[in-house]
């Protein structure tokens, strides 16, 4: 009888206690602890984590989010987070906390990818089906001043052949994963665009037709050596082409660009975790320009080879080391009919070694303190060498149900930067190494954030404020006409300046229920200090977006996933033309004060509807309908010279990337 008493007591408690017998929503998880029920809503948001501590994107959950041209792009949704933006419809890069696009590092399987921008930002440079693991942080342990976006492949061996395919009038892509044995798997992905085939007449740059196309491929060979060791071979290749026809003064501008990457990586798990990689990565650009009189080409490239290793030891100790070799050709214009001539730009060869150390200390149940230090030795051959120690301190205070406060402060240096003509639509920005033209860039920064989950974790609130003091920043002051009409020396078009970035970011997320998504607002300024003679003493950087509001919502009903993405933002600063005239069939252009004007506000609404078809055996499939730029809002990109051949006049005007409402339908299947 005594053995039955505990069971009778528990049964009686369950029957008599109304709290334990109430109905729990289907999208909730409930845990019984004696006579207490803790209810947490299941997080259905594809984005989890915090802006300071790091964010992980669940690409499977993201399939329910608004799609563009049939697929969901993680980078596009990162751009809708507070403090993260793209420049305009003419750019697909990331600007984080007011920083340059090249202040961020994007890696694939731990390998840097230096050409991450596709034409106009319409398409991601990465195949999310091949790279389903997406991690983002506003800071990085690597020698870069900004954020880190890390993409990686799955590390499991499938039991059968599986894959994904998407077909539509704009793009087609497929991913196949085949088990070669019980411990070996091969994954192959291919993508190709058809946007000019079906939409070529719709895409215009201020009334002039645009051309664009891309092809890319990924291959991963995964070998599981045993329960604790894996070896993977990764290959990435992409090739993009784009161009635009202008008036008589700038007839054509065509460009091709692409990445090549190969890596071999060994990973070990256990009490001591380690990862060692040997890799090669390359980004090359080749541009052609013509103004009817002068014509030429502009090659540029960055090649990077490295050996890197990392260790995670007990007691939360992290050690990382790497040795890097860079071969860089900055933009090197060769103008055919320039009588004054153009000297070839010298190649740069650089060496960089890094050692990173960190340790997590837990003080009580609420406080975590993590000191970090990055030791770097850098040398540009024949030009410059230096050694830097970059300390960082992260403090997190967990107030449990009242949220978490995180403070991060420190110093960073960066040794390679990207610069060039921003916002011309084609990614002809090029990389330059520190030494010959500028000293390593430096940042003193501090970030304070507050994160709270409330209403049984159904909602999340994030508030972040940041400030950065920047040194040796690079502003490129030239434009395409300068290369065609005058001798070109890179140092004549580089402005070295210091500056400030500061701002505040707000985000409210709904993580559960039929309606999920987030609202975000950012205020930020990105200021640079000129010499007060040729440039203002204080001016706004080209990529500054002072105000930005984003709304991302998705609604699930029956077999339908409905969603939308809305963005409204301040226009970017630009330098207007002051005087312009035609001399001997050559344009002579004088600019006003640098970045003294601002483009009109930016706005865009994208809508998406996905119908999930009934499952057929092992086949999951759906049809997606999407509308890009639903309101047909015309967003301005930059200023350029417009020729009137009939009236024989020239004028400087703001240009629009005319992307009307672009409808798309696509079919996706997974097996």
Q: Poorest-confidence range of 85-89, 113-117, 325-329?
A: 85-89
CB half-sphere exposure, 115, CA atoms < 13 A: 30
- The pLDDT score that the predictor gives to residue 92 is 63
Q: What is the pLDDT of residue 16?
A: 38
User: In the numeric block, which tokens belong to residue 409?
Assistant: 């402060």
Query: What gap in Å lies between CA 590 and CA 83, rounded to an integer?
Result: 34
pLDDT of 197 over the 90 cut = no
Whether residue 41 contacts residue 27, with contact meaning beta carbons closer than 8 Å, is answered with yes
Query: What is the rounded CA–CA span in Å between residue 194 and residue 213?
Result: 7
pLDDT exceeds cutoff 60 at 21: no
The average pLDDT across 422-429 equals 61
Q: Under the phi-then-psi rule, with left for phi > 0, alpha for psi from -120 to 50, and beta for the rest, what region is 664? A: beta
Of the chain, the percentage scoring pLDDT greater than 70 comes to 77
32: confidence class by pLDDT, cuts 50, 70, 90: very low
The top-scoring range by mean pLDDT among 19-28, 198-207, 591-600 is 591-600
Q: Tell me the mean pLDDT in the region 558-580.
A: 84
Res 495: pLDDT:
83
Q: Which residue has the higher pLDDT, 242 or 431?
A: 431
Q: What is the mean pLDDT of residues 501-529?
A: 92
Residue 177 CB-density burial (10 A; 0-12 exposed, 13-18 middle, 19+ buried): buried
Residue recorded with tokens 């202040």: 103
Rounded Cα gap, residues 434 and 193, in angstroms: 36
- Whether residue 42 is predicted with pLDDT greater than 60 in this model: the reply is no
The answer, yes or no, to whether residue 445 has pLDDT greater than 70, is: yes
Question: How wide is the angle at C-alpha 129 spanned by C-alphas 125 and 132, nearest 5°?
Answer: 90
Total-model pTM: 0.86
**627 closest CA partner among 609, 613, 612:** 609
Task: Please answer whether residues 327 and 346 qualify as being in contact, where contact means their C-beta atoms are separated by less than 8 angstroms.
Answer: no
Q: Return d(Cα 34, Cα 6) in angstroms, integer.
A: 12
More confident residue, 591 or 542: 542
Separation between Cα atoms, residue 130 and residue 176, nearest integer Å: 9
Burial zone of 558 (CB within 10 Å; 0-12 exposed, 13-18 middle, 19+ buried): exposed
pLDDT band for position 15 (cuts 50, 70, 90): very low
Would you place residue 125 in the very low, low, confident or very high pLDDT band (cuts 50, 70, 90)? confident
Report percent pLDDT > 90 for the chain.
43
pLDDT of 481 > 70? The answer is no
Q: What is the mean pLDDT of residues 304-311?
A: 97
Q: What is the pLDDT of residues 590-636, one digit of tens each?
A: 677 778 888 888 898 989 999 999 998 889 999 999 888 888 888 87
Higher pLDDT residue, 481 or 561?
Answer: 561
- 3-state SS, residue 446: strand
Per-residue pLDDT reduced to its tens digit, 455-467: 888 999 999 999 9
Beta bridge partner(s), residue 205: 208, 657
- The whole-chain average pLDDT of the chain stands at 82
Residue 416 and residue 437: Cα distance in Å, rounded?
11
Residues 629/606, Cβ–Cβ less than 8 Å: yes
CATH 2.40.170.20 domain residues, the chain: 47-670
The 3-state DSSP class for residue 565 equals: strand
| Res. 87: pLDDT tops 60 | no
> What is the pLDDT at residue 3?
44
**pLDDT, tens digit, 9 for 90 and up, residues 401-422:** 889 999 999 999 999 999 887 5
Does residue 533 have a pLDDT over 70? no
Statement: residue 7 has pLDDT above 80: no
Average the pLDDT over 139-165 and give the result. Answer: 92
User: Which pair of structure tokens corresponds to residue 581?
Assistant: 């005239």
Q: Range with the lowest mean pLDDT among 294-298, 388-392, 447-451, 610-614? A: 294-298
pLDDT at residue 471, as a whole number = 95
- Inter-residue contact 132 to 72 (CB < 8 Å): no
> According to the model, what pLDDT value does residue 31 have?
47
**Burial tier of 341 (Cβ tally within 10 Å: 0-12, 13-18, 19+):** exposed
Superfamily of domain 47-670: TonB-dependent receptor, beta-barrel domain (2.40.170.20)
Bridge partners (DSSP) listed for residue 424: none
Residues 6+ apart with CB under 8 A from 58: 46, 47, 48
């Amino acid at each position: 009888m005594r053995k039955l008493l505990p069971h009778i007591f528990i049964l009686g408690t369950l029957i008599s206690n109304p709290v334990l017998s109430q109905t729990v929503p289907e999208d909730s998880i409930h845990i019984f602890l004696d006579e207490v029920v803790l209810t947490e809503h299941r997080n259905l948001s594809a984005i989890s984590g915090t802006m300071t501590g790091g964010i992980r994107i669940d690409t499977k959950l993201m399939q329910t989010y608004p799609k563009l041209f049939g697929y969901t792009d993680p980078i596009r949704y990162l751009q809708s987070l507070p403090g993260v933006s793209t420049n305009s419809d003419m750019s697909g890069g990331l600007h984080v906390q007011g920083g340059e696009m090249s202040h961020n590092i994007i890696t694939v399987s731990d390998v840097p990818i230096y050409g991450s921008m596709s034409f106009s930002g319409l398409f991601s440079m990465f195949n999310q089906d091949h790279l389903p693991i997406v991690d983002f942080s506003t800071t990085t342990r690597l020698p870069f001043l900004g954020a880190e976006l890390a993409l990686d492949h799955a590390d499991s061996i499938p039991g059968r052949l599986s894959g994904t395919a998407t077909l539509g009038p704009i793009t087609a892509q497929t991913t196949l994963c085949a088990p070669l044995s019980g411990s070996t798997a091969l994954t192959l992905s291919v993508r190709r665009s058809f946007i000019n085939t079906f939409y070529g007449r719709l895409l215009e740059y201020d009334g002039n037709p645009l051309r664009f196309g891309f092809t890319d491929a990924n291959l991963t060979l995964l070998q599981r050596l045993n329960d604790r060791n894996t070896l993977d071979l990764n290959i990435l290749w992409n090739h993009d082409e784009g161009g635009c026809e202008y008036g008589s003064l700038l007839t054509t501008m065509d460009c091709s660009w692409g990445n090549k990457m190969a890596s071999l990586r060994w990973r070990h798990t256990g009490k001591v975790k380690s990862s060692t990689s040997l890799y090669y990565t390359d980004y090359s650009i080749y541009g052609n320009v013509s103004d009817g009189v002068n014509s030429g080409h502009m090659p540029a490239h960055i090649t990077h080879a490295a050996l890197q290793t990392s260790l995670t030891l007990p007691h939360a100790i992290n050690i990382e080391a790497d040795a890097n070799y860079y071969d860089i050709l900055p933009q090197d214009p060769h103008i055919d009919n320039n009588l004054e001539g153009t000297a070839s730009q010298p190649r740069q060869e650089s060496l960089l070694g890094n050692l990173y150390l960190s340790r997590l200390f837990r003080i009580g149940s609420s406080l975590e303190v993590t000191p970090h230090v990055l030791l770097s030795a850098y040398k540009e051959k024949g030009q410059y060498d230096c050694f830097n120690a970059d300390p960082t301190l992260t403090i997190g205070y967990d107030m449990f149900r009242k949220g978490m406060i995180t403070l991060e402060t420190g110093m960073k240096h960066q040794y390679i930067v990207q610069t060039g003509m921003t916002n011309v639509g084609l990614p002809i920005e090029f990389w330059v190494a520190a030494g010959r033209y500028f000293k390593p860039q430096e940042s003193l920064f501090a970030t304070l954030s507050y994160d709270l989950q409330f209403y049984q974790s159904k909602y999340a609130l994030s508030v972040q404020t940041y400030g950065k003091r920047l040194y040796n920043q690079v502003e490129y002051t030239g434009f395409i006409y300068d290369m065609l009409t005058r001798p070109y020396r890179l140092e004549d078009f580089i402005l070295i300046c210091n500056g400030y970035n500061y701002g505040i970011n707000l985000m409210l997320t709904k993580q559960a229920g039929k309606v999920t998504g987030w609202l975000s607002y950012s205020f930020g300024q990105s200021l640079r200090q000129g010499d007060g003679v040729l440039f203002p003493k204080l001016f706004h950087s080209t990529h500054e977006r002072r105000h930005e509001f984003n709304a991302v919502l998705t609604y699930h009903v029956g077999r339908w996933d409905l969603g939308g993405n809305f963005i409204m933002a301040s226009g970017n600063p630009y330098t207007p033309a002051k005087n312009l005239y035609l001399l001997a069939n050559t344009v002579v252009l004088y600019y006003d004060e640098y970045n003294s004007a601002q483009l009109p506000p930016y706005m865009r609404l994208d809508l998406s509807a996905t119908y999930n078809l009934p499952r057929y055996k092992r086949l999951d499939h759906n049809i997606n309908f999407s509308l890009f730029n639903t309101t047909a809002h015309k967003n301005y990109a930059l200023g350029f010279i417009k020729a009137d051949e009939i009236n024989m006049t020239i004028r400087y005007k703001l240009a629009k990337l005319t992307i009307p409402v672009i409808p798309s339908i696509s079919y996706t299947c997974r097996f």
